[in-house]
Structure 1
Amino acid sequence: MRIELVQGDITEQHVDAIVNAANSSLLGGSGVDGAIHRRGGPAILEECRALRASRYGRGLPPGHAVATTAGNLPARWVIHTVGPVYREEEDLGGILRDCYTRSLAVADELGATTVAFPLISAGAYGWPHDDAIFQALTALRDAVTQVEETRLVLFSGALYTLAAEIATRG
């Protein structure tokens, strides 16, 4: 699988699936989650409400992933995953990596071959950027998947530069 670093807006990625760094409610929020819901339109929220009414009455647990339509986005699907909230005293890196690998498993079920990821848990959930990038790249490099191309979409130039530095270290 090819891993590409991209500086830009994840809602503008022309891929089969866009991954949403969702909150467990699946009902929209701030940051990436809010941007995806706003740009994707009401069809995404409608399917998220249906998921809450059926399989995820208590919300989507951290590290899990589920798909909906992409609505008005330039993708076919949105794969929602909930990252862990960073806690210095507890190693939750495995759950963060699960967000990437379980999203890829959902992409495989859908038949998606191109997937764009945000940097999960690195915003409001407080994960240090350097480690969030390391965890993302580790999970993507180690994944067993039919997905041919993944993009790690970094909103700022500073994050893109940091990711490029970390990626070259291997």
Structure 2
Amino acid sequence: MTELFLLNKNQILTTLAIMLVLWIFQFILKKTANRVGHNSGIHVTRTRLMFKYINVLVTILAIFLLSLTWGYNAQELALIFSSVFAIIGVAMFAIWSILSNITAGIILFFSFPYKIGSRIKIHDKDLPIEAVIEDIKAFHLHLRTLEGELITYPNNLILQKAVSLIEKEYHADEGKDAL
């Protein structure tokens, strides 16, 4: 066991340093996302979604850096990563709308002025929508119309349409006639 440690002492120490730095980096990113979410009044489920994206980013960085540490040279890694990203790129081109909705979801997290519970109007010439935001997911919004209809609206479209805020927080029991 000591021979193994002595033979790989530099790699083990570098691995520990990389893991520590990435853990600190992940902690800082999560704290920042949490602070942005808290200051902007963003629902906790949307903040947790950002945490998943941060975890994926840190994992990819860890795989790349640890591969370099344990003996892969940069040319081999570049070949592996370019091959993987080429395959992913072809797959994402085939399903580009998923990627655009995820990207729009990230943009909505940081800059969308409306929150869950806000009553909005989407100005679309073909299908104008007036509804309450029930949930904001990675790919789409859940909107509930005043008639009770649930509409799933893609994130990338909400960034392309004009949206008006009607009420900051709408409660479902308001506006209904008492029986």
TM range (shorter): under 0.3
Between Structure 1 and Structure 2, the one with more helix by share is 2
User: Which has the bigger relative contact order, CA under 8 A and spacing at least 6?
Assistant: 1
TM-score (norm 2): 0.23
* Structure showing greater Rg: 2
TM-score (norm 1): 0.23
